Structure 1
Amino acid sequence: MLELLSRLFNVRPHEWPRLLFLYGMGIVFLIGLTWGETIADALFLSRLGVENLPVLFVLEAVITIIALAIFSAFADRIRDDVLLIAILLLGALSVLLSRILAGIGQESLAFPMLYLASRVIRDVFNVQFWTYVNGFYDTRSAKRIIPVIATAARIAGAIAGLSMPIITSLFSQAVDVSFAWISTLILMAIMVWSMPRLLRDQAPSPASRASQKQGSGIGAYLNNIREGYGFVAKSPFLRWMAASTLLLIVLTTLITFQGSAIFVAELKDERVIADYLGTLTGITNLVMLPIQLFLLGRLVQRLGLGTANLIYPLSLLGICGSLILFPRALFSAAAQHFARTTYRTAFRNTLDNLMYNAVPLRVKGRARAFIGGLVMPIGTIIGGGLLLLRPLLPQIPWLLPTLIGAFALAYAFSAFVLRRQYARALVSMLAQEDYSFLLSSASDLAVTDNTTLDLLRSKLQERSETEHKIFMAQLILEIGGKRAVPILAEIAKDEPALRASIADLLSAADLGGAAVRHLLNALLSDPDGEVRRAAASGLMQYAYQDRKRINQIAARLLSDPDARVRLEAVPILLQADERLSRSALAALEPLLNAAEPSLRVSALQALGKAHDARYIAQVLPHLAEPNDEVRLAAALSLEALCASGKLPDHLARALREHLDSLLSDPIERVRRAALTLLAYAKVRQAEQVLIRFLADPSAEIRAAAVEALVRLGKPALKALTPLLERATPTVRLEATAALIRITKERATERLRAAVQENLLAIHANLARLALLQPCATYRSLNLLCSLLRERNAERLDAIFYLLSALHDPRSVQIIRQSLDHPQARVRANALEALESLLSPQLVKLIAPLYA
């Protein structure tokens, strides 16, 4: 039986005890909340009127901010179960106080307070409960388990809604239903307390412990809001999560007012309203239960979380259209009530919780506290403020329908953006592995007095070795900043190697200031050429915004007796006006014809740094050099120069004369450069030449050929397409990678087809290995097993190579490294990120390979 249920609900056998406990908690809480919210709505609307709702919306937001401010001060700092129990008990106390006020005749205070209590308890609970639940599961497990737990809302809603007429009939006054609500809050608190004791395990605790940085009161709250805002502001994904939440809350406020006005006009009596809303809630929950229980989890796995997250916004858009077209119909009010209660919790809240798995665990609580504690109330204030404008603008009857339509469209648009941002957020989290956030609390090293610098200066003088002095100079500069410059100027009078190192350190430090420029200017007159070169490099770096100043320094260096110093200035002057560029070429000419190969290499490198196609003619003669280093420098310089602009016909013709010899050069890097130059040289049928190199033994050569084919673009398609059918596996792989990059419109289709082919072959090999394993003691069969494993490794390499052809290679590399991580949670996050690049069905085939 357990095995059948496990397959049916996609739950592992060992997960059932905790799942049932969490499920029971959800049912108990939500039954009470449904009773409480329904009776609170009915009492307020019938006794105080729908015209007071906008004011209550604003009050709700202010009180929610205060409540969540208190919650935020503790989020991620104390154990999640303790915080959840406190929320439940405080909620029970607030409901009891509302009932006491009603009992002494203070209905004008009691009913708004009961209404507000139901909203605040719900909002704070939603933030903390799902953080509590997520702490038990990794990303992949959460995708299976959370949709199941979320169905507790359907069962609870059905039970509470259909029992609403019975509950109201049991009490002489409708307000006494609040006692039933209080009992459910207390019962859930007992369940949270008892679960770790009965299951003999520990409740989840946040990654950030209170011992790190303690705080209390308003200071802790402001710090948490600041930290939460910082995390949201730095993450595009969290920014869009916040924007989407804001749009939804404003929209929900508007349609709640519209629907409430219809209920009051059509139903009038508080018990009729309560019974109608309860029955509506019960029926809609019964309808949604099988959908959420059996469909939602599989829908997420099939479509992917980002695509499934579009369901609610698009459906809400249609429901808002009904409210606009039929503003007085009871079915429109019922539809909006369904959208913001049952449907919202079934789809939006469930998937929203899963979306937060793309946020690092340590900051998840505070990011959600910021969005739930500040963004959501701000949305309610905006919505309430817009509604308060209606009485002031009675001549604009279409104001509310227009606002509803505009916010519905904006919310749907934000969901499409989130779909794209979710994948990027997962990759970013894998890259960080939560470590970067540990740095946010570290203090920057700063020296507050000169004592430390004096101590380091004395340590510097203790030993005479140049390496020791260079190390100490670097340490002094890192710690002292600009205050270290006088110390460096003092020791710059020592040996040339130390002076050159100091100039390099100052260049790298990018300190700026008159003292640094003065020291570098002094070193520019140093008798040692290497010191002058380092000083020149630093001075030109500091003057990068002042082109005239850079040219003056470079022109001065052209007369330096040391060739290395002159070469530092040449690339700058080659990009200057005609007079300076002619001077630079004149200075470079002797170096290009120098007898020493290293000088010719340096001169060619200087030409390449100019990034100007005018200087190709000076490089071309050196492609025939017998010296390998010179020939390689010439080829690399041509790569840089040709990429800077379109080649004139005469230069392209001259380049073509050298390509045959370059393509057969013994130096691999020269051949790679030649493949790149093919596209620039306007070679006829260049694609046929490039295709020959797709079979090259060198992966680097094959990659260069693919890159050149991609640069050729659509003209290469005719030659590439036949290779998918009749070429060798290596050529077919490279041709597929090229086609994916050239034909963006069919890229995803080609990628998935190629990945599926490789995965099926891998699993077929795994099946063969399983059959051969008992006979692996025989040497011949053991060799066959090794061959099959090597083939699988090659096919797995091919899969990620093809992924890199369509997606950011760095992101693909991060995902692959994370799949090999020893922690299951990191591997689960990597599979989730991979799902955003491929289909969920293909990721299902990849997952067992990294189990």
Structure 2
Amino acid sequence: MLKRQLASWLLIRNGEERVVLYLSLLYLALGAGMAVGRSSSDALLFKRLGVEFLPQMFFLTSFLLVGFSAVYAEFSDRLHPSRMFKYIVALTGIFLVVVWGAMQNGGSKIAFAAYFLGYGVVSEILLVHSNLYASGFLDLSQSKRISPLINAASRLGGVVGGVTLGLLSSRFPTEYMALVWALTLVEAFFLIAAYHRGEQRIRAKTKPLKKHGRPLVHIREGLEFARRSSLLQIAGLGLFVMIVLISMQDYLVSTILTRHFQNERDLAAFFGWFSAFTNFAVLLLQILTTNRLLRRFGLKLVSLIFPWSTAASFALLGLSASFLPAVIGRFNYTGMMPAFRNPSANLFYSALPGYMQGRARALSIGLILPLGLAVSGLLLMWVPKESVGESLAVFGLLLSFVYIYLKIVKNRIYAASLACLIQQQVYTGIGEELEEIGRLDERVVGELKQLLQQTEDGDNYVAYAEILLHGAPQDAGKILLETLPGKSAQVQDRLLPRIAELAPPGWQDYMRCCLDSVDTHLRATALTELAKRGDVDALRAIHGWLVHTNPRIRAVAAQACFAAQDPVLHEVAERTLRTMLSAEKPGAIIAALSVMPGLKLFSLDDAVRALLQHPDAGVRAAAIAATGAIGAVGERLILLARALRDEDVVVQRAAEKNAVTLMPITESEYAAALDTYFSFFHMQSLLTNYLAQSELAQRKTILLAIAHRHLQRAWDKKSVALHALSLAQQASARQADEAGFLRLVLNEEVLRHIDIALDILALLDEAQMARAISAALASRDRRLRAQALESLRHIENKALVEWLLPLIEAAQDGARWEHTVPDMPRDMNEMIAWCKRQGGQWLRQCAALMEEETSRATPV
């Protein structure tokens, strides 16, 4: 029980315990070693060489990073991360032992410089690779919960390392701390080896560099990608400015602290105890604050914390370049940066394609970081010693505001890039429109003509014809008249209306030939198109067609009569349709109904309304398509709702297709309809969709209001669904089964409410992005869903998002749920009553059935 409560408090979910424990132990060992290495290398450099050499160290570190990061870049995406990790740890341990030997008995100044430079290179490579390694275990949603925890383990290691350094620095020479760091790397090596022991992995073999040809190929690829990625460009610029800022602050703070402490051991002890304090503070921040801020507000807020703390620390140093502001400044880049900046910065890479993430990281440490250090070193070399104080701090403050601005721009670009990445990974049904093809040149038109002549497949012919119609309408009619004869009647029937619209020379003669076809549909279509355009021969033949034995022909002839300006023909056509509507055979009724949309024959409304109850599903489907002009809006919506609830899917699809003719007209009618049919999800989708397409001034206000109402109802249903578990434990076996079933239905309706809200978001914001988010949330890919959740945080309608996110996380990721409702059911009878009162159609039916079963089982 205690273990479960602890996991819940730390936001660790089922199945994640082993990974979290392993990564925490690994980061603990690495954190302890890094704390010892940083503090001891700083103390040795500042006292053995002098803090005035720090700018030169920055400059040299930049060149070393270029070389070592080039090697890392070559292998980062070609070796399995665990194998690469072991190589890095082993080589670093060997280096530390060699340097320790060189520093003995005073050593040369080169050894102390090498120790400092080694830490600068290794720390960056380990930081980048450990994040890359951990990201292979976690998706974006897990990263926001778990990465702060494993980073907190690194901070705990920093506490251990700081305390160790503080205690040992008074008993042993400071250079012995290199061996302590090496021991932590030995522990990390065996942890990695033990965790991956026995795993069967397919690993890419390392290719000799001489065969590869270009040792910096990954950095080059990263640069090429950066030319196309605005996110990588702004992230690189922000990283460069941050490196300059941190280097300036480190130089300023180190100068103040070196002057304050008189000897090397006191400075090393201070660095050790300060490291312990800093890492403990960061530990608390990461456990209690960072992960919750990431889940509550996302990267948009968390990524701005460190830039603002940097500006504040420079402001304090600008007021007084003394010991206390220096301590605060050191806490900024040793505490605030790992607590807030590093976790959020690592998550930004999720908006890049997976195959480029390793290259982008290599670009950061292989080019941007060295460039930033080189510029910082050169800049600080030229700063007069008397200016290393308030003047330098003021310059840092001004540069901090530039950094904040870049972060704000990066957040905006990140949202767009993440949405674009999601759209590339899911199918949203939004492809290129044919209108985007543009005008086709003569060569392409000629090739399409050959394809139309050669193809024997009807679907292919229609596809080529559509391209031709959109890309070269001036040539399409003539080409179709040349190539269409001889094709199947179905293909000709589909393209006759398009040819009639273009009216190329000879089209009427072709239509008259179709009147003699044995295919009824082709003859009917040809007659319709000719009659619409007042063709004399077609109108002359109408009387004979009105008494044709085929109902399709009779119906089309009646429709053609209304196209003619002859009242006598109108009366004859109306009598023909009335007779067909009262026929016994469904085929005749369907034929008559199929030509009625748009004719506005109010005298036939009663006959059409009666056919909505016809036993044949085809008749009911055709009748709903002909009801657009029947009655007031309330009556039309009743008919639409009845058709949508029809047991036959054909009728439901017909209602969806023809709903546009039955929709409300005014804002008040839409508001009333949305309220009346609030629990009818199918109807809600249609109403919100057509309302969004309307030109009504208050459509956005109405849509937002109904979306909020759906989300509020979803919150209530989610709470009641969870409460059903506790009721099931207290009820009888039969009632427990009922509670479990109601819980399933409630959760299903929660998802329906969420879908309505997401659809409204798609209607209010950029449709393509919102639909991509919706498709990603519906997928079974955890990484896609996590990316969608993060992208959802950047939707403009914050009020909807604040209601949506907890629901989606609880529904898909099993997050905790603490909301309650005022009228929470106290027993199963109240649960059934609540479901009948607040549920949708399906939930109400289930609750009514359970109530009926309960009354039967209860003795009188």
Q: Which residue of 1 aligns with 2:763?
A: 805
For 2:302 and 2:808, locate their aligned partners in 1 and report how far apart those are by CA, in whole Å.
21
The one-letter amino acid of 1:820's match is A
Q: Which residue of 2 aligns with 1:27?
A: 28
Give 1:149 shift: 0.8
Q: Which residue of 1 aligns with 2:614?
A: none
Q: Which residue of 2 aligns with 1:304?
A: 298
Does the aligned pair in 2 maintain the 1:57–1:381 contact within 8 Å?
A: yes
Asked if residue 755 in structure 1 is aligned to residue 711 in structure 2, the reply is: yes
The worse-fitting range, judged by mean Cα deviation, of 370-379 and 119-128 is 370-379
Instruction: Please give the secondary structure, in 1, of the residue aligned with 2:169.
Output: helix
Q: Which residue of 2 aligns with 1:576?
A: none
The one-letter amino acid of 2:121's match is V
Which residue of 405, 414, 421 corresponds with 1:429? Answer: 421
The one-letter amino acid of 2:186's match is I
For 1:783 and 1:151, locate their aligned partners in 2 and report how far apart those are by CA, in whole Å.
42
Q: Which residue of 2 aligns with 1:193?
A: 193
Question: Within 5 A, what are the aligned runs for 1:530-679?
Answer: 561=505
Asked if residue 119 in structure 1 is aligned to residue 113 in structure 2, the reply is: no
Q: Which residue of 2 aligns with 1:416?
A: 408
For 2:239 and 2:701, locate their aligned partners in 1 and report how far apart those are by CA, in whole Å.
33
The one-letter amino acid of 1:169's match is S
CA gap 1:787/1:249 in 2 versus in 1, 3 angstroms: closer
Does the aligned pair in 1 maintain the 2:426–2:776 contact within 8 Å?
A: no
Q: Which residue of 1 aligns with 2:40?
A: 39
Return 5+ residue gaps in structure 1 as ranges: 436-481, 510-516, 533-557, 565-590, 599-621, 628-657, 675-687, 710-715
Does the aligned pair in 1 maintain the 2:56–2:377 contact within 8 Å?
A: yes
For 2:564 and 2:349, locate their aligned partners in 1 and report how far apart those are by CA, in whole Å.
56
Give 1:834 shift: 3.8
The one-letter amino acid of 2:231's match is F
Which residue of 799, 805, 825 corresponds with 1:843? Answer: 805
CA distances 1:482-503 after superposition (whole Å, capped 9, x unpaired): 9x999979989999999xx99x
Does the aligned pair in 2 maintain the 1:758–1:799 contact within 8 Å?
A: no
Q: Which residue of 2 aligns with 1:682?
A: none
For 2:507 and 2:41, locate their aligned partners in 1 and report how far apart those are by CA, in whole Å.
87
CA gap 1:171/1:691 in 2 versus in 1, 3 angstroms: farther
The one-letter amino acid of 1:289's match is L
Instruction: Please give the secondary structure, in 2, of the residue aligned with 1:379.
Output: helix
Give 1:115 shift: 0.9
For 1:70 and 1:414, locate their aligned partners in 2 and report how far apart those are by CA, in whole Å.
30
For 1:431 and 1:531, locate their aligned partners in 2 and report how far apart those are by CA, in whole Å.
39
CA gap 1:507/1:304 in 2 versus in 1, 3 angstroms: closer
Q: Which residue of 2 aligns with 1:344?
A: 337
Question: Within 5 A, what are the aligned runs for 1:439-838?
Answer: 561=505, 728=678, 754-761=710-717, 764=720, 791-792=749-750, 794-837=752-795
Asked if residue 386 in structure 1 is aligned to residue 379 in structure 2, the reply is: yes
Length, aligned pairs only: 667
Does the aligned pair in 2 maintain the 1:733–1:798 contact within 8 Å?
A: yes
Give 1:427 shift: 3.1
Q: Which residue of 2 aligns with 1:400?
A: 392
The worse-fitting range, judged by mean Cα deviation, of 313-322 and 163-172 is 163-172
Instruction: Please give the secondary structure, in 1, of the residue aligned with 2:46.
Output: helix
Give 1:395 shift: 9.5
CA distances 1:628-684 after superposition (whole Å, capped 9, x unpaired): xxxxxxxxxxxxxxxxxxxxxxxxxxxxxx9999xx999999999x9xxxxxxxxxx
For 1:352 and 1:306, locate their aligned partners in 2 and report how far apart those are by CA, in whole Å.
11
Does the aligned pair in 2 maintain the 1:91–1:121 contact within 8 Å?
A: yes
Asked if residue 354 in structure 1 is aligned to residue 347 in structure 2, the reply is: yes
For 1:220 and 1:60, locate their aligned partners in 2 and report how far apart those are by CA, in whole Å.
23
Q: Which residue of 2 aligns with 1:57?
A: 58
CA gap 1:152/1:766 in 2 versus in 1, 3 angstroms: closer
CA gap 1:319/1:781 in 2 versus in 1, 3 angstroms: closer
Instruction: Please give the secondary structure, in 2, of the residue aligned with 1:77.
Output: coil
For 2:480 and 2:684, locate their aligned partners in 1 and report how far apart those are by CA, in whole Å.
57
Does the aligned pair in 2 maintain the 1:101–1:110 contact within 8 Å?
A: yes
For 2:122 and 2:626, locate their aligned partners in 1 and report how far apart those are by CA, in whole Å.
69
For 1:707 and 1:367, locate their aligned partners in 2 and report how far apart those are by CA, in whole Å.
53
Give 1:144 shift: 2.0
Instruction: Please give the secondary structure, in 2, of the residue aligned with 1:169.
Output: coil
TM-score (normalised: structure 1): 0.64
Give 1:324 shift: 2.2
CA gap 1:110/1:496 in 2 versus in 1, 3 angstroms: closer
Does the aligned pair in 2 maintain the 1:130–1:353 contact within 8 Å?
A: yes
For 2:781 and 2:151, locate their aligned partners in 1 and report how far apart those are by CA, in whole Å.
27
The one-letter amino acid of 1:756's match is Q
Give 1:252 shift: 0.8
The one-letter amino acid of 1:306's match is K
Does the aligned pair in 2 maintain the 1:2–1:13 contact within 8 Å?
A: no
Q: Which residue of 2 aligns with 1:179?
A: 179
For 1:97 and 1:793, locate their aligned partners in 2 and report how far apart those are by CA, in whole Å.
62
Give 1:45 shift: 1.8
Which residue of 332, 335, 350 corresponds with 2:328? Answer: 335
Give 1:92 shift: 2.1
Q: Which residue of 2 aligns with 1:235?
A: 229
Q: Which residue of 2 aligns with 1:138?
A: 139
TM-score (normalised: structure 2): 0.64
CA gap 1:721/1:84 in 2 versus in 1, 3 angstroms: same
The one-letter amino acid of 1:195's match is Y
Does the aligned pair in 1 maintain the 2:79–2:206 contact within 8 Å?
A: no
Asked if residue 78 in structure 1 is aligned to residue 79 in structure 2, the reply is: yes
For 2:402 and 2:702, locate their aligned partners in 1 and report how far apart those are by CA, in whole Å.
30
For 1:82 and 1:33, locate their aligned partners in 2 and report how far apart those are by CA, in whole Å.
21
Return 5+ residue gaps in structure 2 as ranges: 428-440, 485-501, 509-531, 540-562, 570-598, 609-621, 642-654, 814-860
CA gap 1:487/1:760 in 2 versus in 1, 3 angstroms: closer
Q: Which residue of 1 aligns with 2:579?
A: none
The worse-fitting range, judged by mean Cα deviation, of 182-191 and 767-776 is 767-776
Instruction: Please give the secondary structure, in 2, of the residue aligned with 1:163.
Output: helix
CA gap 1:85/1:418 in 2 versus in 1, 3 angstroms: same
Does the aligned pair in 2 maintain the 1:34–1:157 contact within 8 Å?
A: yes
The one-letter amino acid of 1:404's match is G
For 2:113 and 2:304, locate their aligned partners in 1 and report how far apart those are by CA, in whole Å.
35
CA distances 1:788-824 after superposition (whole Å, capped 9, x unpaired): 6875564243122222133322223223322333344
CA distances 1:252-307 after superposition (whole Å, capped 9, x unpaired): 11111211221233224322222222222222222332232233222322222332
The one-letter amino acid of 1:363's match is M
Give 1:9 shift: 1.8
Backbone CA RMSD of aligned residues: 5.6
Q: Which residue of 1 aligns with 2:368?
A: 375
Q: Which residue of 2 aligns with 1:601?
A: none
Instruction: Please give the secondary structure, in 2, of the residue aligned with 1:90.
Output: helix
CA gap 1:789/1:180 in 2 versus in 1, 3 angstroms: closer
For 2:623 and 2:538, locate their aligned partners in 1 and report how far apart those are by CA, in whole Å.
17
Instruction: Please give the secondary structure, in 1, of the residue aligned with 2:130.
Output: helix
Does the aligned pair in 2 maintain the 1:695–1:702 contact within 8 Å?
A: no
Question: Within 5 A, what are the aligned runs for 1:97-112?
Answer: 97-103=98-104, 107-112=108-113
Does the aligned pair in 2 maintain the 1:320–1:336 contact within 8 Å?
A: yes
CA distances 1:578-598 after superposition (whole Å, capped 9, x unpaired): xxxxxxxxxxxxx98777999
The one-letter amino acid of 1:330's match is F
CA gap 1:381/1:71 in 2 versus in 1, 3 angstroms: same
CA gap 1:809/1:48 in 2 versus in 1, 3 angstroms: same
Give 1:124 shift: 0.2
For 1:179 and 1:80, locate their aligned partners in 2 and report how far apart those are by CA, in whole Å.
26
Instruction: Please give the secondary structure, in 2, of the residue aligned with 1:822.
Output: coil
Instruction: Please give the secondary structure, in 1, of the residue aligned with 2:138.
Output: coil
CA gap 1:369/1:496 in 2 versus in 1, 3 angstroms: closer
CA gap 1:597/1:808 in 2 versus in 1, 3 angstroms: farther
The one-letter amino acid of 2:76's match is A
Does the aligned pair in 2 maintain the 1:427–1:830 contact within 8 Å?
A: yes
Does the aligned pair in 1 maintain the 2:640–2:662 contact within 8 Å?
A: no
